[in-house]
Structure 1
Amino acid sequence: MLMRKWYKWSLSLLATLPLILSMSACSSRSAVSNSRLDTIKNRGKLICGVSGQLPGFSYVKANGEYAGLDVDICRAIAAAIFDDPKKVEYRNLNAKERFTAVQTGEVDILSRNTSWTISRDTSVGLEFAPVVFYDGQGIMVRKNSNIKKLEDLKDKSICTQTGTTNEQNLSDQMRQKGITYKPLVFEDVNTTYATYEQGRCEAITSDRSQLVSRRSTFSKPDEHVVLDVVLSKEPLTPAVANGDSKWFDVVKWTVYGLINAEELGVNSQNVSQLTNSSNPEIKRLLGTEGDLGKGAGLSNDFVARIIKHVGNYGEIYERNLGKNSELKLDRGLNKLWNQGGILYAPPFR
């Protein structure tokens, strides 16, 4: 009797197996077809969440245009998708609201000096793209304060911004060293820096690049100095919502395309000529050989589009943060892996 029941159950399972497999396949096709990438293409523009308050990374110029490294990442993605870097709408987001904007779909991508951490990667519903800027947390003080090291900040007031890794990093370092201090925490970045500049706190902490950037906006920037102290690792990276590998691949390989282009010597000045290159790596990168773009849902020449309109990573860096900018930040770790830095991208193959 038991054998007969088991036999009937087996036949029933076999009969329904094709239906189960069909439903699974339909579900997979639906997930792919409902990608954010398709929504962006149909909309005709990319919606990019930025700070809008940070010279060198994302800010509004006098002519009303957005500029900065984070902005150029968005422009590069728009160039890859539309062959037009201007097809971007920017949304200014503060540190507290930035993740919600991605989770709710208000923005397609967050490109806003955001550190990649395990908690953000696993419990906030985000997927982090490749690092676009390797940074570390620092502290800025007035030159005449005689503050040279962390120990000199004992019982001093330190401004920081809520919703950032900076708040926790500072607490960890001071607790580890047994240094008491007075934290002054603000939600708005402009309020944070205004409070410090007005002398209501004796130091301010944030990513070192941000400190240098915001110092350039002070009325007397030369009166302030960033201490030779690094409190943490801060890998800054764009982020998208979890669960959409098709869209994530576009963001990921746009960044990798910028890095590989610099490594191969492809820039905005020579990209047109190099489409005739005999170098197989360059041919694959620029889409004159193979169909690597097709696999990402893009045209095969998507990297050529990016470089033509925005430049390679080195050009973006120097224009916004390096020697051709007001900030004059040394590239340091953000040099290519074969030039003394740690910037590295998988090959186009």
Structure 2
Amino acid sequence: MKKIATLVGATVAIMATAGAHANTLETVKNRGAVQCGVSDGLPGFSATDSSGRWQGIDADVCRAVAAAVFGDAEKVNFVSLTATERFTALQSGEIDILSRNTTWTLTRDTSLGLNFTGVNYYDGQGFLVSKDLGVDTAKELDGASVCIQSGTTTELNLADYFRVNGMSYEPVLYDTSDQTVGGFEAGRCDVLTSDQSQLYALRIQLSDPDSAVVLPEVISKEPLGPVVRQGDDAWFNVVKWSLYAMINAEEMGITTANAEEMKSSNDPGIQRFLGVNGNMGELLGVSNDWAFNITKQVGNYGEVFERTVGTGSPLNISRGLNALWSDGGLQYAPPVR
């Protein structure tokens, strides 16, 4: 009975929190900026550059939301969060959106009072090892010590994988990604495990990136995407469609460079998307040129991917599953109509 009472109490608390923040769009407009929760520093996803400006595919999702709401992609306050801090910060209202390489799972989608708004990066968990370890596959890691970032899905995935394959391991837990890669480089573990995209980002932080290799195995599905609180459909729609706008823009061939010119297109779908005709923005509670502002100021999905994590970036990751559906990938957005 005590356990049931505790669960009921937790559910009520989550519902009360959601209800207290049920007008996020209005709150954001009154504040004049989007409060965006990002990582504590993950190149390609959200990390500061030499001038202190946040860069990355996750940071640009927040800029897209700001462009939709304010017509100004720079109206974002970035809040750096560890994996263990991120959900509490969103639940409490400290941030309006969590855009921090966060995996969409059933547990998170139901028990935390949160809603995932889509997937901006399809990923999977893998292993980074020193070449000196002399292994070619994850099946050779029996008895290895493994560096893991606490508070992430990687802990359970790792335990499941080793149990299924009849192997043992010694976990070495850290709070941040920087600490994790530091432990790996210092030799406190044989292996570093995380999402493969994160492994490539952490690998370039090593003093000698060529000394380590990412093993070929992918042991999980890790759909990463932005998160908002449950109970606020208006804000959920704005964040969701800001991401979809980036994907739709790429599908329609609209870029930062040609967005203004494309307003003259005879294609009714493009005219509707860019706000020349129709009332798509009004339905979301923003201006009708919301998608134009996103594309012009932030870029379409392909442009953002390429400069942050793609072959035009230090991570040099190919599109793979993150290619458009029309190119054999999984990225697919509902139509703006």
Question: TM-score per shorter chain, which class?
Answer: over 0.9
Residue 269 (str. 1) matches residue 257 (str. 2): yes
* RMSD of aligned residue pairs (Cα, Å): 1.2
Which residue pairs with 1:22 in the alignment?
none
Gaps of 5+ in 1: 1-30
**1:212 maps to amino acid:** Y
What's the secondary structure of 2:127's corresponding residue?
A: strand
**1:68 maps to amino acid:** G
Task: Work out the CA distance in 2 between the residues paired with 1:330 and 1:323.
Answer: 6
Aligned residue among 205, 209, 225 for 2:197: 209
Residue 140 (str. 1) matches residue 118 (str. 2): no
Larger radius of gyration: 1
Aligned residue among 155, 164, 167 for 1:167: 155
Which residue pairs with 1:341 in the alignment?
329
Residue 84 (str. 1) matches residue 67 (str. 2): no
Task: Work out the CA distance in 2 between the residues paired with 1:50 and 1:295.
Answer: 28
**1:27-46 alpha-carbon deviations (Å, 9 max, x no partner):** xxxx8995100000000001
**1:16-72 alpha-carbon deviations (Å, 9 max, x no partner):** xxxxxxxxxxxxxxx899510000000000110000410000001001111000000
Aligned residue among 295, 300, 304 for 1:312: 300
Q: Is the alpha carbon distance of 1:307 and 1:127 closer, same or farther for their aligned partners in structure 2, counting shifts above 3 Å?
A: same
Residue 200 (str. 1) matches residue 188 (str. 2): yes
Instruction: Indicate if the aligned counterparts of 2:22 and 2:231 stay in contact, CA closer than 8 A.
Output: no
Residue 254 (str. 1) matches residue 217 (str. 2): no
Q: Is the alpha carbon distance of 1:32 and 1:276 closer, same or farther for their aligned partners in structure 2, counting shifts above 3 Å?
A: farther
Instruction: Indicate if the aligned counterparts of 1:52 and 1:66 stay in contact, CA closer than 8 A.
Output: no
**1:46 maps to amino acid:** V
**2:268 maps to amino acid:** P
**1:154 maps to amino acid:** D
Which residue pairs with 2:284 in the alignment?
296
What's the secondary structure of 1:54's corresponding residue?
A: coil
Task: Work out the CA distance in 2 between the residues paired with 1:189 and 1:66.
Answer: 17
Alignment of 1:175-254 (within 5 A): 175-254=163-242
Instruction: Indicate if the aligned counterparts of 1:318 and 1:324 stay in contact, CA closer than 8 A.
Output: yes
Which residue pairs with 1:120 in the alignment?
108
Task: Work out the CA distance in 1 between the residues paired with 2:174 and 2:190.
Answer: 15
Task: Work out the CA distance in 1 between the residues paired with 2:40 and 2:190.
Answer: 26
What is the Cα deviation at residue 258 of structure 1?
A: 0.4
Residue 281 (str. 1) matches residue 286 (str. 2): no
Gaps of 5+ in 2: 1-18
Instruction: Indicate if the aligned counterparts of 2:83 and 2:151 stay in contact, CA closer than 8 A.
Output: yes
Which residue pairs with 1:108 in the alignment?
96
Moved over 3 A (4+): 31-34
What is the Cα deviation at residue 281 of structure 1?
A: 0.9
What is the Cα deviation at residue 243 of structure 1?
A: 0.4
Which residue pairs with 1:94 in the alignment?
82
Task: Work out the CA distance in 1 between the residues paired with 2:315 and 2:107.
Answer: 31
Task: Work out the CA distance in 2 between the residues paired with 1:126 and 1:221.
Answer: 37
Task: Work out the CA distance in 1 between the residues paired with 2:114 and 2:281.
Answer: 24
Report % sequence identity.
Answer: 50
* Number of aligned positions between the proteins: 319
What is the Cα deviation at residue 187 of structure 1?
A: 1.8
Q: What TM-score does the superposition give when structure 1 sets the normalisation length? A: 0.90
Residue 39 (str. 1) matches residue 18 (str. 2): no
What is the Cα deviation at residue 323 of structure 1?
A: 2.0
What's the secondary structure of 2:206's corresponding residue?
A: coil
Moved more, 144-153 or 277-286: 144-153
Task: Work out the CA distance in 1 between the residues paired with 2:265 and 2:284.
Answer: 23
What is the Cα deviation at residue 161 of structure 1?
A: 1.1
Instruction: Indicate if the aligned counterparts of 1:52 and 1:60 stay in contact, CA closer than 8 A.
Output: no
Task: Work out the CA distance in 2 between the residues paired with 1:75 and 1:33.
Answer: 21
